[in-house]
Every structure is written in structure tokens, then in C-alpha cells.
């Protein structure tokens, strides 16, 4: 009898059998689960069931709790002194009020002569709400605008921005206790006590039969970057709006310059904050954690007229100084002046040419000013005041403007590399500034040009056309007719239309003298031009220069 041996199953066969067993087990388990779930839920419906909630406890709102940040307490203390300011400008026929840039004029456009190209990016927020000009100089309705302010004297004296009340025919003030949006109640009439356009500060007053709540000014010199601050005002007509942030920078300036190159903001040094500031906040207080005003919200940096986290406030120390002068007998601010304009921020090549490391180079000297009478001339470099070295233009302006009109100051200066000292009498800046400003109209030029220096400098020049010579009072020199892109002249911002009167301290009287000077220039030489605007008379010297490649 044959006996057969059954071989044991292989490892692969055992794995296959085990996998099938596992699969069937899982399927069976899932089937049972589905069956049980169906049985359990067969009596469940979507209708609400009757449930006994007698054991549920109702929610109880707790008593108000004062938080530790202190913001609420500060707002309670200073809020009543913050006011809403509404203004009206009655339409007046004009020849043509077209904006100088061809853009629609908005209510926050001030005097065109006081605006610079920075205004496209740096918008004063007047917060206008209507009444635009129709383009032909006749407005169809009253121009209304909105701003803020704060009471500093219980008799009704209020500080705000000049651009809030500038050109307004009617000014109305609403206190924090006055009803909002009440028909026929525009607020309490106010009148202007005094304004200072240079710092954009104004003082107005309302009549009152009882003392009004006030807010105290603090010392802005003590404010530090990183300090908490609150901005209070009426953004977008929303009165008593509070936003919080920190001081993000100090001593900020916005270098807006007029067509004559004179700074329009020499006396504006701002506190920068990221506290949200919007149209209508203008003139409102920036308050520290002690409940004191350290600044007045004045401007925002924006390209959309909305807050982007960059707001600027005029420091309280400046506000107090201007306020005290505006409430004085003359109701105006008097600043000292020596009757010059100067150029700051010149290149190192210009400084080397004039032998200075700090100081300013005189561009224009007013004939009737103290500097002219003391013998100061264009091209002199002022380096000290009463024996103290000056750091730059801001240092000079701040020192001179704070001095009393009629007093005398010793100016140290350099002329042709030699030091000298002059006793200069301080004059009234308001009276001398107009002579520095000048004026003029556009014109065309046209004679034949010279290409001498085209290779070296990248420009062509011509004689000064008679019309421009008559307008500017400059008959000797040459005018730039073309500038090659990427050239040396282009790199140092020597532009088309500039009148050149000096190169490296050598006078340029005509094309021949220009060619003679240019022919001596070589690579690595410092080249400094004295140029003038072709649009104005008494435009003053402007210095541009650099090192030839």
C-alpha cells in the first residue's frame, strides 16, 4: 500500500490564507456595526424633543470691571475737552481754480504757493465732505469740512490745525456733551484768535457762560519711542473716537519745497505714531498715559487717504510756544531771520570744494536783510553762530528764528577758504521771506546749442535766451538744453533748463568760458556747478556736484 506524504503549506500560502481571514472578519464587524446603528436610530426624528431644563442656570452679566491698561480712565479724563470742528466756505467766483497738477482740487488743498510735490503722497487730512469746485471757478454749494481740536483754557480757547480753519467763512464747535447729528444744531460759533502757517497751528475761541473742561499739555521732550499714546478726534465724522498705538519715531520732517527751493516745513518736526489716524482726526490730541497732550495730530502719510499706520503729530512743546504768541496782543508769531536762503544736504564733492564738513552754503542774500548789510554773499559757507559750530540747516534756522528781532549775532563763515566773522542784526522773518521767494512765468527758449562737454558731462548748453534773461535778471551764463540719460549730469541731477553761472568757483559768462572750463576737467575730478532756476527772479544759488567717473 502506497503512503503519500502531504507537504506542509508554504509561507506564502499561509500569508494568503491569513489575509483572507482578516478581510472577512473586518467585513463582518462593519456589517454588524451598521445593523446595530440602524436599530438604535430608527426612532430618532428631526423634531425637537421635549426636554426638562429646570436644572439649567441663566447667564448673569457681571458688574463692570476696570481693566489694568488705564486707557478707559484716560479717555474719561481728557475726552470731554476734545471737540468736533465743522467749517463752511462760502463759494466765491474766481478766474480759474484748476489744480496746478491738473487734478481735482480737494478741500484739503491749501494755498498752491505753499504746496510741494510731496502733497501727492503726504495728505493733510482736512476731511472734506462736499462742495467741490465745478472747474470754472464757481462752486455749486458751500464747501464743508471737518476736523478736531482740544480745549486748553476754560474760557473757551481751543487749539487745532491751521488747515482745519484756513479759508473758512464759518466755524462751528461741538462739545462732547452736545448731541450728534441733530438737525439745525451745527454747533457753537467760533472765531479765529491767530494762526501760524509755518507750524500749521491755529487758536480759535467759543463764547461760554461757564467754565469748560480742559486738557493739559505735557512735555514732548520726555516722550520716548515705544511709549503708548491715544489719538482722540472725529475721523469720518465719528466724534469722540479713540485709537491706541505707540510713538514709532520722533523728530520727523517732511521736506516740502516750493519752486524756488525754499523749504515749506522748516519749523515742522513731528512725532510719528502708529495710532490709527484718519481724515477728521486733524487737530485732535495725541495723549500719553499720564493723560497729557504730547502732540496734535496733523498729517498722515498715505496714497489712499486712509490710515496705513503712519501718522504725524506736532509736538506739544512747539504747540505751547506758538499758542503763547498767538494769544498775545499782536496775535501772531514773530521769528528771527538774517535774510538768506541756503542749500542743505549737498554732496561731499560740494563740501570739499567749499572746504566745509558741516554748516550751510548761502544761496541767496536779501538786499535789505541783516546778512547783506553785514557783508555776507552767495557762496559763503556759514559754519558757526556766536562761536558755536552749527550742524546744518535745521540747527541754523532753529537758532536764528528763536532770537529776538533787533538783536545781534556773530556769524562765522568761510569765503575762498578763509575764515571771517560778521555781526548780523536779526530781522523779522515774515518781512524778509517774501524777498527770497521771488516769482516768474513759464517761457520757451531756443538759440543754437553748444555740445562742448557733451562727452565729459553729458549735457549741451546754449546762451541764455533774452526772455529768460529778462525774467531772471541773469544775463551771463549758459542754459542746459539737453541731458543725456545715465550721464554724469544726469547722476548729479543737473537738469534741462538749469542756468549755469559757475563751475568749480570759476565764473561761466558765456559759451566760450564754459568750454574753456570743461576742457580742463578729467576723470576723478570734483565738479561743482552753481545753477539757477530759469523760471524766477532772484532764485538764488543752487549747488550740485559730484566726482567725474
Count the neighbouring beta carbons within 10 Å of the beta carbon of residue 80. 17
490 catalytic? Reply is: no
Contact 296, 286 (CB under 8 A): yes
Pick the catalytic residue: 109, 200, 274, 380?
Answer: 200
How far is it, in rounded angstroms, from Cα 86 to Cα 164? Answer: 9
Q: For residue 259, what are the CA distances in angstroms to 18, 67, 270?
A: 93, 53, 23
523 catalytic? Reply is: no
For the purposes of burial, counting CB atoms within 10 Å of the CB of 51, is it exposed (0-12), middle (13-18) or buried (19 or more)?
exposed
Pick the catalytic residue: 108, 133, 148, 163?
Answer: 163
Closest listed residue to residue 398, CA positions, set 459, 462, 315: 315
Closest listed residue to residue 401, CA positions, set 318, 299, 314, 327: 318
User: How long a stretch of residues is the chain?
Assistant: 549
163 catalytic? Reply is: yes
Pick the catalytic residue: 148, 282, 316, 341?
Answer: 282
In sequence order, the β-bridge partners of residue 343 are 361
Query: Hunting for cell 546749442 — which residue is that?
Result: 449
Q: Are strands 499-503 and 478-483 parallel, antiparallel or unpaired?
A: antiparallel
Query: Hunting for cell 476696570 — which residue is that?
Result: 66
The grid cell for 394 is 535745521
Contact 278, 301 (CB under 8 A): no
How far is it, in rounded angstroms, from Cα 124 to Cα 294? Answer: 20
- Give me the active site residues, please: 163, 200, 282
Amino acid at each position: 500500500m502506497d503512503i503519500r506524504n502531504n507537504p506542509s503549506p508554504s509561507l506564502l500560502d499561509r500569508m494568503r490564507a491569513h489575509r483572507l481571514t482578516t478581510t472577512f472578519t473586518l467585513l463582518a464587524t462593519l456589517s454588524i456595526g451598521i445593523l446595530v446603528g440602524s436599530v438604535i436610530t430608527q426612532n430618532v426624528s428631526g423634531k425637537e424633543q421635549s426636554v426638562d431644563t429646570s436644572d439649567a442656570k441663566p447667564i448673569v452679566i457681571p458688574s463692570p470691571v476696570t481693566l489694568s491698561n488705564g486707557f478707559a480712565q484716560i479717555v474719561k479724563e481728557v475726552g470731554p475737552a476734545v471737540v468736533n470742528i465743522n467749517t463752511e466756505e462760502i463759494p466765491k467766483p474766481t478766474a480759474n481754480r484748476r489744480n496746478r497738477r491738473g487734478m481735482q482740487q480737494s478741500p484739503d488743498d491749501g494755498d498752491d504757493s505753499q504746496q510741494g510735490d510731496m502733497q501727492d503722497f503726504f495728505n493733510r487730512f482736512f476731511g472734506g465732505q462736499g462742495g467741490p469746485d465745478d472747474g470754472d471757478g464757481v462752486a455749486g454749494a458751500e464747501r464743508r469740512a471737518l476736523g478736531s481740536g482740544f480745549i486748553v483754557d476754560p474760557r473757551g480757547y481751543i487749539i487745532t490745525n491751521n488747515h482745519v480753519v484756513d479759508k473758512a467763512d464759518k466755524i462751528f464747535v461741538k462739545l462732547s456733551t452736545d448731541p450728534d447729528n441733530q438737525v439745525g444744531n451745527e454747533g457753537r460759533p467760533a472765531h479765529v484768535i491767530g494762526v501760524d502757517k509755518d507750524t500749521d497751528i491755529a487758536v480759535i475761541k467759543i463764547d461760554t457762560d461757564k467754565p469748560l473742561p480742559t486738557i493739559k499739555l505735557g512735555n514732548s521732550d520726555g516722550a520716548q519711542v515705544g511709549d503708548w499714546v491715544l489719538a482722540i478726534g472725529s475721523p469720518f465724522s465719528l466724534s469722540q473716537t479713540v485709537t491706541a498705538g505707540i510713538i514709532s519715531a520722533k523728530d520727523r520732517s517732511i521736506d516740502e519745497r516750493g519752486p524756488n527751493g525754499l523749504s515749506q516745513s522748516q519749523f515742522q518736526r513731528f512725532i510719528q505714531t502708529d495710532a490709527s489716524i484718519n481724515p477728521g482726526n486733524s487737530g485732535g490730541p495725541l495723549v500719553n498715559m499720564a493723560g497729557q497732550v504730547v502732540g496734535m495730530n496733523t498729517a498722515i502719510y498715505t496714497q489712499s487717504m486712509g490710515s496705513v499706520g503712519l501718522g504725524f503729530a506736532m509736538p506739544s512743546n512747539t504747540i505751547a510756544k506758538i499758542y503763547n504768541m498767538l494769544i498775545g496782543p499782536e496775535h501772531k508769531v514773530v521769528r528771527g531771520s538774517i535774510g538768506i536762503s541756503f542749500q542743505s544736504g549737498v554732496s561731499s564733492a560740494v563740501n570739499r570744494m567749499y572746504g566745509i564738513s558741516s554748516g550751510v552754503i548761502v544761496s541767496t542774500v536779501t538786499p535789505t536783510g541783516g546778512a547783506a548789510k553785514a557783508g555776507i554773499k552767495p557762496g559763503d559757507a556759514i559754519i558757526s553762530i556766536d562761536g558755536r559750530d552749527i550742524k546744518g540747516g535745521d540747527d541754523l534756522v532753529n537758532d536764528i528764528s528763536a532770537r529776538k528781532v533787533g538783536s545781534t549775532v556773530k556769524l562765522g563763515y568761510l569765503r575762498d577758504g578763509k575764515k571771517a566773522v560778521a555781526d548780523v542784526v536779526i530781522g523779522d522773518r515774515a518781512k524778509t521771506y517774501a524777498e527770497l521767494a521771488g516769482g516768474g512765468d513759464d517761457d520757451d527758449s531756443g538759440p543754437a546749442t553748444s555740445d562742448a562737454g557733451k562727452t565729459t558731462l553729458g549735457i549741451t548748453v546754449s546762451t541764455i535766451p533774452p526772455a529768460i534773461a529778462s525774467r531772471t535778471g541773469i544775463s551771463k551764463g549758459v542754459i542746459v538744453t539737453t541731458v543725456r540719460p545715465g550721464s554724469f549730469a544726469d547722476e548729479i541731477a543737473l537738469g534741462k533748463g538749469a542756468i549755469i553761472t559757475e563751475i568749480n568757483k570759476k565764473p561761466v559768462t558765456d559759451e566760450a568760458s564754459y568750454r574753456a572750463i570743461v576742457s580742463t576737467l578729467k576723470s576723478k575730478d570734483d565738479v561743482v556747478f552753481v545753477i539757477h532756476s530759469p523760471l524766477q527772479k532772484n532764485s538764488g544759488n543752487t549747488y550740485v556736484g559730484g566726482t567725474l567717473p
